[in-house]
Amino acid sequence: MEQDVLVLPDEGNGVRVIACSGDFDQATLEPLRRACARAVADPAVRRIVLDVSRVTFVDSSMLDAMLHVQRSGRLVLAGPLPRLLAQVLEITLAGQLFTVAGSVEEARIL
């Protein structure tokens, strides 16, 4: 399974963007968990934007990681949400827990 996690350079406005692409499951999730943990621990970060628009597969471990970051109260998902992720959020009723923006640009200004 291919996956990529890219932390975009901060623009000095307290918004950290973490872009994800590919498949995310228990075996491939560690780079995303590390990037999110660093963002949560950084007091200068007031909003964490998780760009999930290019995610092709998720399982419950990805949902767990997103819920962990959500507990910080600073997470915004940037879409559009991929079909599979939208289904996972709908089936688990977890979708109502997340703020979802249509794009990274929209998420930056929420």
Using the predicted structure, report yes or no on whether residue 90 has a pLDDT greater than 70: yes
Number of C-alpha atoms within 13 angstroms, CB side, residue 89? 18
Question: What pTM value is reported for the model?
Answer: 0.94
pLDDT level of residue 1 (50, 70, 90 thresholds): low
Using the predicted structure, report yes or no on whether residue 2 has a pLDDT greater than 80: no
Ordered by start, the domain boundaries in the chain are 3-109
Any idea which fold 3-109 has? Transcription Regulator spoIIAA (3.30.750)
Neighbours of 31 (CB within 10 A): 16
CA–CA dist 90, 80 (Å, integer): 15
pLDDT, tens digit (0-9, with 9 covering 90-100), for 9-65: 888 899 999 999 999 999 999 999 999 999 999 999 999 999 999 999 999 999 999
pLDDT in the model for residue 3: 81
